[in-house]
Structure 1
């Protein structure tokens, strides 16, 4: 498959407003390399980058990289399996911490670029991160200047307690998959409890609902299209997230209902990109705008700004000032 970070870097100069959030498999990549790749993407896109952190416990994927061996999972509820998965998520938490520290390892004004003196950087404004943990040992600093956003967005998809903990400890956005509003309330409560336990109560954290959508102007046409797609595939549409089938107005009703249940936003997945993506932009968005719940202009230039997230202070600059 194609490299998501490289594709995002190619798309960045051709776009002005969209966020670019490639998926990164923390299990098989190095945080130093990913930190500079996403920092570079943030510079190229002038502040619209992020990453979605993913773990994998599949032995065949581990074999592709040859860096580690992961035991074959026989049953998801087996204690050995749960131990392996919990360890991978703990590793992902450390991974994000290393990435974030590296983004902060350059102060915002570390670049001098003084041709007369030949000084490119102020060495006093570059910092070692000195991270040592059970999974990584990284001294730093990064080789890439601090990103325009300070900290590009970190997100993760979560279906259960262990990934909820990763979201609460390390992410700016968690994607969740509730099937009804009661489940949405329960998931949000669990993530907020984990956030408090991690000492992050004061930090903003969005919880977005993930939803696959099949949209048509007529609900019957949407159902018929889904039935036709299921028949062609020989099985019902497979998804880890709920699948919505209906009209843009019906979808707007559902989104607002789930928003009242505590979700702060949504990540919509078009079931068929060529049909359902235009249905979102040309059908759902105008419907939400009519209801006064969707922007009519871009109020910020960065992804953090569009999500209502502040630009974080540099942890090392603050320490020096203190």
Structure 2
């Protein structure tokens, strides 16, 4: 079956690990070594992404120090000391104009009112550029920072998350868009008929409302998800507008894309109302040899302790001590791991890689796809995936920061623009406008319109 050429444009996000996505990035001489606590570094990265006309900048978050083997962790600074992204983005919002600001916040160890207020505030501060990556905490040690002896069970986490998002969206509609009159002549600051109390009472939350922040400029900040399970994909189909996926191979990506678009349609939404953006670990050089040398430097810098700790985490805490670095896993182990069909590492066991080959493969991309080559090579791959309807865009993960993002913006973006695949200017001022997703109508205003439309003439 021939796939018709697309007329829309590739969407781009920048996924920012402080020193870069590769686990050995901090050892590279170009990396900002104190990046985790260097505000100006983040500003520089955000401004570079904005210069490249990226849709958004994404910062993942965790609310605990990474747990594990201290002999490995002492050589691996990611997720050890870093800013709260909401505070960080409030500062970045003042130093940028167009780029979307998307942060992770867990539904497991927050309250809906706090999250609704923070993201509504960020949306106002940034002029409509906020996005929330909705997650349920996967790290059980986070529980211990919030008065719990054990983590929420998986189904409870998802059930809580669904209700959590419902409450947050309800709070964002507390005020209608034109509720604030601010009329000195009549001495009326707001119209009481356009203030709404949520009065939510559910299994997990009881929230009266209303929110003490005006309705966000985008109506609701953009919602992002990164789910892989069927339950998670169903939740995303109902609520997400951006989907950060983990699909390292084209056929997998095409199947995932078709599946998600079908789920979105089944949920009563337009398929284009969600943008599928898998990770892309792009290492670009002016020649293929230069790109390979950049990649090899990072691979050679991986300390074995870090590599094995990273791989163990990726494999669900698997004990790797019985398995030598340079021998493939026994057939029974490989077949057992493949039976889980986790796309992040299924192909590594299928291809019978050794632990060292696995952790070197995983170190730079976390199960995402790595593309190494010239700007034309990388653009070729991006175009293929886009035109094959495997993606709507990509979450670019620079291996080293700030230089990796600068090289992508200076070398790859112009090629995409020359091919008509990527914008040459921002379409609007808000993240929704640039992504091409609709601004939601306030539920109470919508109900009032429906009642008016149904009233007898």
Q: TM-score, normalised by structure 1?
A: 0.90
C-alpha deviation, 1:229, in angstroms: 0.9
| 1:119 paired residue number | 188
| 1:55 paired residue number | 136
C-alpha deviation, 1:68, in angstroms: 6.6
CA distance in 2, matches of 1:222, 1:163: 36
| 1:45 paired residue number | 126
CA distance in 1, matches of 2:145, 2:118: 21
CA gap of 1:101–1:298, structure 2 versus 1, over 3 A, is same
* 1:111-190 mapped onto 2 (5 Å cutoff): 111-190=180-259
* 1:195-214 mapped onto 2 (5 Å cutoff): 195-201=264-270, 204-214=273-283
Unaligned residue ranges in structure 2 (runs of 5+): 1-81, 308-359, 452-457
Unaligned residue ranges in structure 1 (runs of 5+): 72-83
What CA RMSD, in Å, does the superposition of the two structures yield over aligned residues? 1.8
- Comparing 238-247 with 166-175, greater Cα deviation is found at 238-247
- For the Cα contact (< 8 Å) 1:28–1:67, is it kept in 2? no
CA distance in 1, matches of 2:98, 2:181: 29
Over 4 Å off, 4+ runs: none
Given the alignment, which residue of 232, 240, 245 partners 2:372?
Answer: 245
- For the Cα contact (< 8 Å) 2:262–2:271, is it kept in 1? no
| 2:400 paired residue number | 272
C-alpha deviation, 1:179, in angstroms: 1.6
C-alpha deviation, 1:281, in angstroms: 0.8
C-alpha deviation, 1:176, in angstroms: 0.8
> Which structure has more RCO (C-alpha within 8 Å, separation ≥ 6)?
2
For the residue of structure 2 that corresponds to 1:21, the secondary structure is: strand
| 2:388 paired residue number | 261
- For the Cα contact (< 8 Å) 1:154–1:171, is it kept in 2? yes
C-alpha deviation, 1:202, in angstroms: 6.7
- For the Cα contact (< 8 Å) 2:282–2:397, is it kept in 1? yes
C-alpha deviation, 1:117, in angstroms: 4.7
CA distance in 2, matches of 1:201, 1:291: 27
CA distance in 1, matches of 2:192, 2:147: 37
Tell me whether 1:290 sits opposite 2:415 in the alignment. no
Q: TM-score, normalised by structure 2?
A: 0.65
| 1:98 paired residue number | 167
Structure number with larger C-alpha Rg: 2
- For the Cα contact (< 8 Å) 2:108–2:137, is it kept in 1? yes
CA distance in 2, matches of 1:99, 1:203: 23
